Structure 1
Amino acid sequence: MDVRQLRHFVAVADTLHFGRAAERLGMTQPPLSQSIQTLERELGAPLFDRTRRSVALSPFGAAWLPHVREALDGLGALPEIAERLRRGRSGRLELSFVSTADYSILPRLVHGFRQLYPDVDLALTEATSDMQIAALREGHGQAGIIIPDAEAPVPEGFAYRRLVAEPLIAAVPESWLAEGRLRLAGPALPPEAVISSPLVVFPRPAAPSFYDLVTGYYAACGGTAHVVQNAIQMQTIISLVSAGMGIALVPASLRHLARSGVRYLDLSGPAPELETGLIWRRDDRTPTLANFLAMVEAELAAA
């Protein structure tokens, strides 16, 4: 069967008259009757009960009619669906992100995109920067929010946009403050308290720029980082701090991650800044990605 036959069936079902149905369809009655007969033979059941004076839907035809209408309605919607896909107003956008972005730029970008494109399926995946770049290089996903490599922030074949840079602060166990184990300089943590404390940090292979930024601060303060534990998720790092395992240097936006047993303190003096940015393949022409990039530019301009 084809779409033409289905439209013939609906026209006759609506009018219950082959002559009026043929007129509506802009054809003569004999070809219409032949089309219906061909369709009935293909289906193996009559669609209409015919007499010399009347035409009525058969029980089979009456039961099949709603399904045919639904199928034709779906066909009629295809041009509009294609246009929405072409313009990126529907479809799918796969966005990956580092755990630190969950407390800074990610909620704002997700909210902005949802407001503009509610019909786009937005798929979010948390992953380290190296895993995101590897996945994008293999063609998985459209964009990633990463901590860029200080030595090579933009791998070949990719484009990059800086999103935010924020100072590092210290996450310290509250118990250490209560015990006097850490001495503060006013409300801030002085360098000597930082370099004398064990450190919980991302493993370097997973986040080399972040790791080097933290350990570089220790070196600039005249000390060496004593790493007692690595963790690849920021929530885990903060949990380990809460357990009293050590301190962590984290982006200032982590203040939004409230955890009992943890206090967030500014670093006295100049603090290193952590950059977070958006990366995508230069050759990716996905309409939803183009819309996302345009929204990111608008959000940054409005900030």
Structure 2
Amino acid sequence: MDVRHLRHFVAVAETLHFGRAAVRLGMTQPPLSQSIRALERALGAPLFERTRRSVALTPFGAQWLPHVREALDGVAALGDIAERIRKGHAGRLELSFVSTADYSLLPTLVHGFRQLYPEVELALTEATSDMQIAALTEGHGHVGIVIPDARTPLPALFAYRRLVCEPLIAAVPESWIAEGRLRTIDGQLPPDAVISSPLVVFPRQAAPSFYDLVTGYYAACGGTAHVVQNAIQMQTIISLVSAGMGIALVPASLRHLARSGVRYLDLAGAAPQLETGIIWRREDRTPTLANFLTMVETVTGHAAPPPEGNSR
């Protein structure tokens, strides 16, 4: 059974005349009759009831006809589908992201991409930066939103583009402020209040750049971070703050995560800046990835090339 046999069957079924069907198909009648007989042998059942004066579909042929039409419509659409996949208007894009991105640019990027390419299957996975880099190195996924590690260069196979740089703020238990346990100045948290408070933070092995940025701020303020709990999910960190376990230094976009019992305060003085960006394999020519990168340039308002060297 091949597509030609199916087209022959539909032509005869619609005309109920082998001669007229042959004319429609641009062929002679004997090869058409042979094609229908071959199809019937393959199916193990007759498709037409033939007399010298008439041709009619058998009950089996009548029930099979809509399925054949649907299959032929699918074949006819394959060229257009291939074109949409080739242009990245259909297909699949696998995007991973750190939990902090969920409160900054991720919703904007996802919404924008879905608006532009609604037929693309967008697969989202939350993962720490180290897990994303490992997966992409092994060829899994297309693009990741990560917190780059300034101390550890990315492998040469990656390209990198900065998305956003935002200050850290303090997430503190609201009860500590009410009880006078934390001293604020004009609604901001001074350095001495930060370094004297227990800290909830990502584990260093999961987010070395973020961890070093936070602990480096403590050191710059003349103190040492007293880490009471590690957590790899930003939602978990904020929950632990709400429970009064300690404070956390988080990106300013975390203000979008409202949680009962938590107050977000700016840091007094110069606050550390957290950079977030995207990485992808340089040799990856997936059309959906190319379209995503173009959209990122539009959303972020700049088309920054990958930095010189591989420091990101």
TM-score, length basis structure 1: 0.99
Match of 2:306 in 1: none
Match of 1:120 in 2: 120
Partners of 1:238 and 1:202 in 2: CA distance: 11
| Structure 2, unaligned runs of 5 or more | 304-312
Partners of 1:243 and 1:43 in 2: CA distance: 69
Partner of 2:189: helix, strand, or coil?
coil
Partners of 1:41 and 1:162 in 2: CA distance: 64
Q: 1:234/1:298 Cα in 2 relative to 1: closer, same or farther (>3 Å)?
A: same
| Structure 1, unaligned runs of 5 or more | none
Partners of 1:212 and 1:51 in 2: CA distance: 87
Output the amino acid matched with 1:181: R
Partners of 1:199 and 1:41 in 2: CA distance: 77
Task: Give % identity.
Answer: 83
Q: 1:153/1:266 Cα in 2 relative to 1: closer, same or farther (>3 Å)?
A: farther
Match of 1:171 in 2: 171
1:94 aligns with 2:94: yes
1:46 aligns with 2:46: yes
Measure how far apart 1:33 and its partner are: 0.9
Partner of 1:266: helix, strand, or coil?
strand
When the two structures are aligned, how many residues end up with a matched partner?
Answer: 303
Match of 1:194 in 2: 194
Partners of 1:190 and 1:226 in 2: CA distance: 17
Partners of 1:62 and 1:212 in 2: CA distance: 72
Partners of 2:41 and 2:214 in 1: CA distance: 77
Output the amino acid matched with 1:118: P
TM-score, length basis structure 2: 0.96
Consecutive aligned runs of 4 or more in structure 1 exceeding 6 Å deviation:
none
Measure how far apart 1:31 and its partner are: 1.0
Match of 1:298 in 2: 298
Partner of 1:228: helix, strand, or coil?
strand
Partner of 1:263: helix, strand, or coil?
strand
Partners of 2:96 and 2:107 in 1: CA distance: 13
Match of 1:245 in 2: 245
**CA displacement 1:167-222 (0-9 Å, x = unmatched):** 00000001100110011111100000000000000000000000000000000000
Partners of 1:298 and 1:125 in 2: CA distance: 23
Output the amino acid matched with 1:252: A
Match of 2:207 in 1: 207
Q: 1:153/1:107 Cα in 2 relative to 1: closer, same or farther (>3 Å)?
A: farther
Measure how far apart 1:302 and its partner are: 7.1
**CA displacement 1:69-123 (0-9 Å, x = unmatched):** 1111110000000000000000000000000000001011111101100110001
Partners of 1:66 and 1:184 in 2: CA distance: 74
Partners of 1:40 and 1:211 in 2: CA distance: 71
Partners of 1:242 and 1:42 in 2: CA distance: 70
Deviates most, 42-51 or 191-200:
42-51
Measure how far apart 1:153 and its partner are: 4.8
**CA displacement 1:100-159 (0-9 Å, x = unmatched):** 000001011111101100110001000000000000011110000000001235322100
1:222 aligns with 2:222: yes
Q: How does 1:32-181 map to 2 (within 5 A)?
A: 32-181=32-181
Deviates most, 15-24 or 30-39:
30-39
